[in-house]
Structure 1
Amino acid sequence: MIKLLLKISLCFLFINCATIREKEYVFKSKNHKKAYIKSYNKSLKLWNVPYQEEDISTSFGKAHIIITGPNKGTPLVLLHGMDATSTMWFPNIEALSKKHRVYAIDFINEAGKSKPFEKSLSKDEIIKWYNEIFDHYKLERITLIGASKGGWIATLLAIQKDEKIEKIVLLSPAQTFKGIDQVGKSSSALFLKFFPSRKKLNKTLNAFSFYPKKINATYKEQLYLSYKHTKSNSSFLQLQPFSNEDLKKIAIPVLLLIGDNDVINSENSLKNAEENLSNCKAEIVKNAGHFLSIDQAEKVNDAIVNFIE
């Protein structure tokens, strides 16, 4: 009888643990998630290259990776901006994947196809999560390309003593070298995050993009649903500028691109980067806002390809 009760108790414990791990931490409901994923898939069709989607298990949940490019190409890892997901790379993916094996990773605690076990990850857990993905694919000589929050994450990873990362490209990295430059204009994104509406989305796009009317309508809809269908998440508070001491730890080559109309960064960001990074090439991209990989896709693509090749 005792053995039977023990088996029953263990069975219930297993079921409860499984239920906890199946809990939805990102989306408001299963229907919200379903609607969002449908929009995500529509945006992914904007990628005009062959690709494959893969889900791998990690210590912190399921990681979703989109892979394209030649099998033997040197690896490029793409880290998207906050709530933008890997679909944001549609204006860049053809140029980046021509000679390189590209791995675009959906961040685990935001809208996308990755699925977390927890509400948020600490800095150390973020580092461990990405390294588990790198180890799964046996990646070496990696070039990290990070946009906005993805640039902050790329910098965080590059600070660590890890020989896997060979170069990093930072596209208007958020809160990396200094605080937000134009707090008033950029605050529209904060209101959109907590009180989503199409009016607030348009206001945010007008502030963050130099050519907001040129943003693809399919992707724009996905971006809106990422705010409408997900739970409020304060993980962005984790983004704090790195100390000069930490930045000086980065010895690998760095390409830093910032739009001349960026509300997050300014020339002071470039100055700080050049003063503290021993091997940094920093440039201002004209007629571009914070979304410079969309505003000036061709210029950004050329600059990245020239840097990594």
Structure 2
Amino acid sequence: MDNIDHFNLRSFDLNLMIAFDAMMQEMSVTKAAEKLRIGQSAMSHNLNTLRMLLGDDLFVRVGQKMQPTAKARALAGPVRTALSQAQNALQATDCFDPTTAERVFRLGVTGEMEMILLPALLHHLQQQAPGIKLLSRPITADSVDMMVNTGEIEMAIGCKSQLQTGHFGEVLFNSEVACCFNADLVGLKAPISRDQYLASRHAVLSQTENVAGCVGVALQGLGIELNVVLAAPDFMPLLAAARNTPVIATVPCRIATQYAPLFGLSYCPMPIDVAFPPVTMNWALWTDKDVGLVWLREQIRTVIASIAPDHAVLAAE
């Protein structure tokens, strides 16, 4: 969020923004004054003060009607949004009834959480809180801090790196990966050995310019170099590639458990012991007491607990 100049705002009468919004809605000094329950002279005074402060006429008479200037049109949306947010904040309560609540929750999710959490969470919420809607946005390690700080998202789910100070966070689960492949194309059967894994061609997740991806980088720390022939920012292209090409797609275990069978792929644990950062859920300090978000965080924990854990892949095939 941009820094707020509290000193300049303190010297600016925010009631003027209310007068501006009323004028934009009514396009009549008389009607705007009636809407605000003030005299017409007081309304005219407010508009004249705004014109002086903003250096623009804001509203001009064209024939028998008042028309907003270009500057007024540009201001209208942000002012309306700010007043709406202020009204919602003042009307906020500590009560949240999921059975009757109507609210849009803005979630930032990684590709992994997009595939394994959102479908299950939506199904759960439709039963528990039919008036709740989810607006999801993709997040990356580079974008997540800004998106939380600006309020673009209310929670970040799936991060594997520490967020900046000013955030709360908790571990949802420890991350493990699995190998997905077309047994007929690669000529292998699950489980595969370390030598078979290293001798194969690979498809990995990468959200940077590094073709090695997160898996390749982790293995480089062990002195191991993978032959990566495809690096993509999402998991679906990796699974699709493994279905049609003799490559091994290394993906999170929960992705493998749910989606590998849909692509006709065999899957098994990665035959090299590599430690990956845990998957976390993070939110800003100023949203910690939001009763709706407190409730939603608990629903996310419940849904995650119901999804097959990473070790379940060990029993596959």
Q: If the length of structure 1 is used for normalisation, what is the TM-score? A: 0.28
- Name the larger-Rg structure: 2
